[in-house]
Structures are given as C-alpha cells and as structure tokens.
DNA sequence: ACATATGCGGAACGTCTGTTCTATTCTGCT
DNA sequence: AGCAGAATAGAACAGACGTTCCGCATATGT
C-alpha cells in the first residue's frame, strides 16, 4: 500500500475522533454514516486495507472490535467533551454557523461538558446567551446552550428558530401545524407564537443548558 | 447502595482490565463468562447499579458501549467531577441534607459536571427539580441544580430558601434588608417577596444549573 | 483490445449483544 | 414467622453489527 486514499484517511480520522470522544470504537455503520460511504462492504474493505497497513487492528466477529494500531492514535480520554464555543446568541442576530472543519481544527475557546449531556449526538457546539430575551425559554443572560446543528426537528423539540422577516433568533419548542408553525415557550405559563412556515428557519436543536452562577 | 458488592467489584475490575488489554469494552456476555455470572440480566442489573454510582457509563442500545466513569479506574479524568445526587427538590418539601460521609462513599447516584462549574468549592451536591414551581428562578421540571451547602449567604446570591411557616422550598436571590429579607426571582420581570428573617432558613447556595434535553 | 486487478454498491445472512419480562431465591427487618 | 425489597435465573426479543456474495464500474498492464 503506497498511500492512503482520501476515503481511508477520512475513516482513520473518524475512528480516532470517535474513540477519543466516546471512549469506545465505532461500528462499521457508524463509519459508513459519518464518512458518507454507500455500503458497509466498502467500509469493511477499506478497514481491511488499513489493518494490513498497520494503522489499526480488528478483532474478528466482535462488535466494535477496532483498535488503533501502531501508526495511529492519540491516547483516549473518555467522558468529557470539549465542545467548541462558537460565539454568542442574541435575539437580534443570527447565530454563528459551524463550518465543515469546525470539529477538526483547534479553537479559541471550548466548553467542557459531561459526555452524558451530549449522549449519542455528534456535532454539538455551544453558544453563550447574551441578553434576557430568552427568558421565556427559561434561559438567562450568560447561560451556555448546547446546540445540535440540524435543519429540521421533531415535534416538541426545543429549536433555535430564525424568524426571517423579524430578523430574530429565538429558542422555542417546535410544533408544526398545517400551514404554520406554533412556537411554544418552555415556560408553559406563557403564550405561544405562530409563524408562517416559510418565515421560519431552524438553525439547530437545543440539547442542553448550563448555568454557572 | 451502601458499598460495592463482591460481584460488582469483580465486574468493575474485569471491565477495567478488558479495556486496558484489548482496547475496547467487553460485552455483557463477556462479563458474564469471565465473572461466572449465571445470567446476562444479572450483569445488566449490576451494570446499572455501577452506572448510577458513577463508576462507569453506558451508551444505550450500543454494543460494547461501556466506558469507565468518573469514579472508576486510577486514570482519573481531569476536569470532571462526580457530584452526589442526593434526591429531588420540590416546592412543598424540604431538601435532603448531606451527611458527613456523603462525599466519601458511593451511597447514591452521581451526576457528572465540568469542574469549571464547581470552581474551587467542595461539598457541592446535586438535586433534581420536580415540578414547575421554580419557573420564576428560570428552572424547569427535570433540571439538575448544583447546591453548595451553607447556612448563610452573601447579598445577591441565589439561595435555597426554606420558608418555615409556609413549609415551602424556593430558589431566590437573597437580599437582606433591615428586619426582613427580600427574595428576588432570577427573572427580573417578576416581583420579589418579602419574608421575616426568622421565617427564613438558608439551606444552600445554587452554584449551577444543568438542563439536559 | 483484452484480461486482470482494484474499488464501489446494494442486499442479505447469521450471529452478537443489549434489553426486557417473569418467576424465583435471598436478605434484612419487625 | 412474615413481609418487602434486593438480587438472581432463565429465556426470549429486537436490533445492532460484522461478514459475505454478486454485479458493476474504473483503472492497469500487456
């Protein structure tokens, strides 16, 4: 094997990151999804090549039996995640959007969160809340919100909603209704607002809130 | 869980050794075989107890999803703390009070928090919020609050206040005034309440809030 | 151009593995 | 003794997961 193909590099990098973040190795299908590979057989095939090259080892027939080989791998530190702190979120401004290389490159600032708070999810980042406009979501000035970047949401999810006409960012629970969308504050004593579906852009899902007093 | 049973010690030891030796976590049946346990359900049962005790973590529905927890292993992870979860806090009930040995033994569940949230303080414990009565403190049902046990507070601190006459627990900002005490909700749009100094008992100070969605 | 090797796609198979359910035994307490 | 809760057994279920097979596309060498 002369050199690693782009696909193999991606796989190796993903495996390294996965082990570091979660503490256990990824499955073939984890790799398939993350590296956008069309078939598990392709993953298996390339893993075989990587194994022959000494980049990793595989235990036969066991789930998640991948181990980093002699040629790869920083020591793993499970349990804690350094989530990139991308910036601030405020009522009158759109939120910073993660770039493709956000999770790879180094950052000015990170927030440490317990891995349990981000259970399972990938591509989570943090934003610092500025101002008291999110009070109806039970979120105060200075809080840190953990966002999972996604363009759609399930009914009832707390989402980062961008209201195009109003040019306003808000955190609300998402309830699609026919033609429009009901945005319900987490504080159930407060009234929902209704917006046209086309006026709403979902920027992410709120997976956690941290308040440090 | 007063102390680890022999079986639990064996499981924990085996998991540690397995990960160190093989590089990935064991399956439930690996543990069953090695520790001579008769049923996978017993392994599952004990793993659940170990997880609640903070000795390890498990990814749900994932093969070999075990990782060593905050309390386990000599490889203590820097930056993360296992805070004892003493119970629940609700409007109509006093909060559980920590015992002398609370911070030494594995008596109860734990919550992992970033060390930065507990900056310097010792004797911090966690309570799970039941009900929506703390809404005016921007705290919702299901949130986890981190409490520093103390009987007094500085002006402006967010405290756990026990109102003796009303037999009620509440979270408010503490502002002593002559003769009485003003308890100010964190949500500054809401009105404060005033209580007699003798009617108030401070049960602790709120140092952080974690909301996992 | 032909044969060969390499890599990719899609699907299916069989096992591995976590989880759950119910029944039974053990343990501590009154 | 009697009861309640903790712990254990055994089995079965539902997915997760590695592996394999076959067909097809693209290089590579002669």
What is the ipTM for the molecules in this complex?
0.67
Long-range contacts, stretch B166-173, CB < 8 angstroms, 24+ apart: B167/B92, B167/B94, B168/B91, B168/B92, B169/B89, B169/B90, B169/B91, B169/B92, B169/B93, B169/B94, B169/B95, B169/B203, B170/B91, B170/B133, B170/B134, B170/B137, B171/B134, B171/B137, B171/B139, B171/B145, B171/B206, B172/B137
Return the pLDDT at A203: 85
pLDDT band for position A82 (50/70/90)? low
pLDDT for the residue numbered B125: 82
| Nearest CB to B140 within list A23, A120, A138 | A138
* pLDDT, tens digit (0-9, with 9 covering 90-100), for B138-193: 888 888 888 888 888 888 888 888 888 888 888 888 888 888 889 888 877 788 88
Higher pLDDT, B56 or A103: B56
Comparing CA positions, the residue from B73, B62, B71, B65 lying closest to residue B20 is: B73
List pLDDT tens digits, range A138-179: 888 888 888 888 888 888 888 888 888 888 888 888 888 888
For residue A36, is pLDDT > 80?
yes
* pLDDT for residue B76: 45
Domain spanning A80-210: CATH superfamily: Umud Fragment, subunit A (2.10.109.10)
Task: Delimit the CATH 2.10.109.10 region(s) of chain A.
Answer: 80-210
Average pLDDT along chain B? 80
Do the Cβ atoms of B68 and A78 come within 8 Å?
A: yes
* Cross-chain residue pair A59–B24, CB shorter than 8 Å: yes
Amino acid B7: pLDDT: 85
Taking the CA of residue A163 and the nearest CA in chain B, the distance in Å comes to 23
How far does B23 lie from chain A, in Å, by closest CA? 6
Express each pLDDT in A40-70 by its tens digit.
989 988 988 888 877 888 888 899 989 887 6
Summary mean pLDDT of chain A: 79
Region B53-73: mean pLDDT is: 82
B117 vs A72, more confident: B117
Q: Is the CB of B177 under 7 A from strand C?
A: no
pLDDT at position A98, please? 53
Could you list the active site residues of B? 133, 172
Give me the CA A30–C1' C5 separation in Å, rounded. 29
- CB of B213 within 7 Å of some strand C atom: no
pLDDT of residue A100: 42
Provide the pLDDT for residue A29: 92
Residue A45 approaches strand C within 7 Å at CB: yes
Distances (CA, A) of A42 to A3, A198, A199: 18, 40, 41
Bigger pLDDT: B26 vs A212: B26
What pLDDT was estimated at residue A95?
A: 61
Q: Is the pLDDT of residue B110 over 90?
A: no
Looking at the complex, does the CB of residue A189 fall below 8 Å from at least one CB of chain B? yes
Q: Per residue in B65-89, pLDDT tens?
A: 898 877 665 444 555 677 777 777 7
Q: Where in chain A is the domain with CATH 1.10.10.10?
A: 6-68
Chain B nearest-CA distance from A1, in A, is: 25
- Whether A105 contacts chain B with CB within 8 A: no
Contacts of A56 in chain B (CB under 8 A): none
Q: How confident is the model at residue B3 (pLDDT cuts 50, 70, 90)?
A: low
Give A 117-176 residues with CB within 8 A of chain B. 117, 119-120, 132, 135, 138-140, 158
Residue of A nearest to B209 (CA): A211
Rounded to a whole number of angstroms, the CA Rg of chain B reads 21
Residue B114 vs residue B201, higher pLDDT: B201
Q: Dump pLDDT digits (tens) for B90-105.
A: 766 666 655 444 444 4
Distance of CA B160 to the CA centre of its chain: 15
Measure CA to C1' and name the residue nearest D17.
A63
CATH number of the domain located at residue range(s) A6-68 in this protein: 1.10.10.10
Query: Which positions in chain A touch B22 (Cβ < 8 Å)?
Result: 59, 67
Q: Does the beta carbon of A111 lie under 8 angstroms from any beta carbon of chain B?
A: yes
Query: What's phi and psi for B201, nearest 5 deg?
Result: -125, 125
pLDDT at residue A108 tops 60: no
The predicted-structure confidence for A5-27, as pLDDT tens digits, reads as follows: 888 888 888 888 888 888 899 99
- The pLDDT score that the predictor gives to residue B95 is 63
> What is residue A96's predicted lDDT score, i.e. its pLDDT?
61
- So what's the pLDDT on residue A77? 46
Please state, as a whole number, how many other Cβ atoms lie within 10 Å of the Cβ of residue B160. 25
Q: Which nucleotide is nearest to A63 (CA to C1')?
A: D17
User: Per-residue pLDDT for A135 more than 50?
Assistant: yes
């Amino acid at each position: 094997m002369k050199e690693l193909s782009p696909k193999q590099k991606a796989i190796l990098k993903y495996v390294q990151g996965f082990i570091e973040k979660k503490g256990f190795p990824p499955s073939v299908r984890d790799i398939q999804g993350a590296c956008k590979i069309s078939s598990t057989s392709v993953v298996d095939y390339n893993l075989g090549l990587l194994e022959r090259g000494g980049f990793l080892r595989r235990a036969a027939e066991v789930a998640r039996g991948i181990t980093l080989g002699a040629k790869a791998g920083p020591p793993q530190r499970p349990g804690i995640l350094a989530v990139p702190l991308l910036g601030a979120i405020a009522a009158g401004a759109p939120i910073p959007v993660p770039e493709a290389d956000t999770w790879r490159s180094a950052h000015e600032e990170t927030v440490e969160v317990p891995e349990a708070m981000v259970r399972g999810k990938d591509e989570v980042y943090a934003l610092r809340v500025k101002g008291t406009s999110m009070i109806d979501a039970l979120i105060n000035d200075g809080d840190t919100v953990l966002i999972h970047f996604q363009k759609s949401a399930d009914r009832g999810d707390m989402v980062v909603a961008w209201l195009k006409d109003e040019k306003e960012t808000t955190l609300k629970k998402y309830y699609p209704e026919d033609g429009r969308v009901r945005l319900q504050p987490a504080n159930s004593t407060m009234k929902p607002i209704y917006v046209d579906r086309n006026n709403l852009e979902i920027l992410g899902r709120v997976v956690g809130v941290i308040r440090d007093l």
